[in-house]
Amino acid sequence: MVETIAWKDNQVIMIDQRRLPLKEEYVVCKGYTSVIRAIKELVIRGAPAIGVAAAMGIALGALKIRTKKTAPFLAKLDEICREMEGARPTAVNLAWAVNRMQDLATRKRDEGVETLKAILVAESKRMLHEDISVNKAMGKHGRQLLDDGATILTHCNAGALATGGYGTALGVVRAAVEAGKKIEVFADETRPFLQGARLTAWELMEDGIPVTLITDNAAGYFMQQGRINAVIVGADRIAANGDVANKIGTYMVAVLAKTHKIPFYVAAPMSTIDFSTKRGQDIPIERRPAQEVTHFHSQRNTPRGVVAENPAFDVTPHRYVSAIITEKGVAKAPFKANLKKL
């Protein structure tokens, strides 16, 4: 399976998700500012992967802090953390990872600067490995929801590329396939960045899992034809009441699924659940450059000067969600109480 991100010789290496699947290129980050740039420019994307990248970025930043004194070290680390946190607003895994790194540094402050640096590097590597284990646990819980012979619709990319490895939504698919179930996937292309067409289709084909690429507009057609048995998507942030922020277009798919009585599942680690955000309306939605809509790569394919809007995420109200699959188990409605229990 593809390696999304790795720590090597005090550098962070990421596969460049802007270029896939046409080119398999890697971006090497030597400092925390290049990690921030990589997150903003979608070299690395997907909520859990962004979390791991942020942690490794903070570790890179920590290594370059010059002082030997703890107080100024922690002050500079705080600056780095605040900058990192601002890279993208919707995926709560970013803030979760930043807080985890900063809390650890505060707790271990008496160890001295050099030891603190080593602790932060080790923690960021641990977060990568933990994420893969969490996804595998999620897969084991979620695969029971999929029938042998099912065709699953997914939106965006919630696979190995969006995480430390294995994937959330695609992790559930992988776990079902590993358990001997015959599963097919329909992948929405996911305009405008084409995570479905470029990334989901690519990683499933690499794994030999049957995948059919469809345009975003075709999801309703295939549901109407009875060709989709379940929908599984990932999430960027889940509010305490079970409302789900995920890639723009997810809400449309959820509404369609309910109309067609097709179960709509969300697979996400506990780190994606933001108990401090009560409802979906309170989740900040990232607005990305209009050029992602008006251009394909650098080629304009729309009238010059046309006004375009590009919200990167939408919120699916919890009434459309059949279940939320986490590493701790599967939660169904009422989500407010059942997510807490997990």
CA nearest 193: which of 257, 252, 249, 255?
249
The catalytic residue among 131, 188, 236, 274 is 236
Residue with smaller CB distance to ligand MRU, 93 or 294: 93
15 near ligand MRU (CB under 6 A): no
Q: By CB under 6 A, what part of segment 156-175 binds ligand MRU?
A: 156, 158, 162-163, 168
DSSP 8-state symbol, 196:
I
154 binds ligand MRU (CB under 6 A): no
Query: In whole angstroms, how close is the CB of 78 to ligand MRU at the nearest point?
Result: 26
Among the listed residues 20, 46, 62, 314, the single contact to ligand MRU using CB under 6 A: 46
Of 196, 78, 62, the closest CA to residue 118 belongs to 62
Q: Which of 246, 243, 251, 242 is nearest to 234 (CA)?
A: 246
Please tell me whether residue 234 binds ligand MRU under the rule CB under 6 A: yes
Smallest gap from residue 140 Cβ to ligand MRU (A): 17
The residues near 308 (Cβ < 8 Å, ≥ 6 apart) are 290, 293, 294, 302
Choices 69-77, 174-182, 228-236, 297-305 (CB under 6 A): range interacting with ligand MRU: 228-236
Cβ 272 to ligand MRU shortest distance, Å: 7
Q: Does 127 bind ligand MRU (CB under 6 A)?
A: no
Question: Is 195 near ligand MRU (CB under 6 A)?
Answer: yes
Taking CB atoms, the residue at the shortest distance from ligand MRU is 234
Note if the bond before 21 is cis, omega within 30 degrees.
Answer: yes
- Residues binding ligand MRU: number (CB under 6 A): 18
Selected range binding ligand MRU among 8-16, 24-32, 59-67, 229-237, rule: CB under 6 A: 229-237
CB 311, min distance to ligand MRU, A: 11
Question: Among the candidate windows 138-146, 173-181, 214-222, 231-239, which touches ligand MRU by CB under 6 A?
Answer: 231-239
Q: Which of 60, 177, 239, 312 binds ligand MRU (CB under 6 A)?
A: 312
Please report whether residue 235 would count as binding ligand MRU according to CB under 6 A.
Answer: yes
Assess 246 for contact with ligand MRU (CB under 6 A).
yes
- C-alpha to C-alpha distance for 147 and 138, rounded to whole angstroms: 17
Does 243 qualify as catalytic in the annotation? Answer: no
Q: Is 316 in the site for ligand MRU (CB under 6 A)?
A: no
- Whole-angstrom distance, CA of residue 146 vs CA of residue 179: 11
Please tell me the distance from the alpha carbon of residue 191 to that of residue 189, in angstroms, as a whole number: 6
Residue from 20, 47, 58, 232 touching ligand MRU (CB under 6 A): that is 47
Cα–Cα distances (Å) from 183 to 147, 148, 178, 198, 228, in that order, read 8, 7, 10, 20, 11
Q: In what order do the strands lie in the sheet with 151-154?
A: 211-214, 184-188, 151-154, 230-233, 264-267, 323-326, 329-331
Separation of first and last alpha carbons in the chain = 30
Q: For ligand MRU, give the closer residue by CB, 117 or 247.
A: 247
Q: Among 117, 141, 143, 247, indicate the residue that binds ligand MRU (CB under 6 A).
A: 247
Residue 216 is classified by DSSP as: G
Answer yes or no: are the C-beta atoms of 127 and 163 closer than 8 Å: no
Spatial distance between the Cα atoms of 61 and 128, rounded to a whole number of angstroms: 17
* Side chain identity, residue 173: V
Q: How far is the CB of 163 from ligand MRU (least distance, A)?
A: 5
* 232 near ligand MRU, judged by CB under 6 A: no
Instruction: Identify the DSSP state of 129.
Output: H
Q: Which residues bind ligand MRU (CB under 6 A)?
A: 45-48, 91, 156, 158, 162-163, 168, 195, 233-236, 246-247, 312
Please give the positions annotated as active site: 236
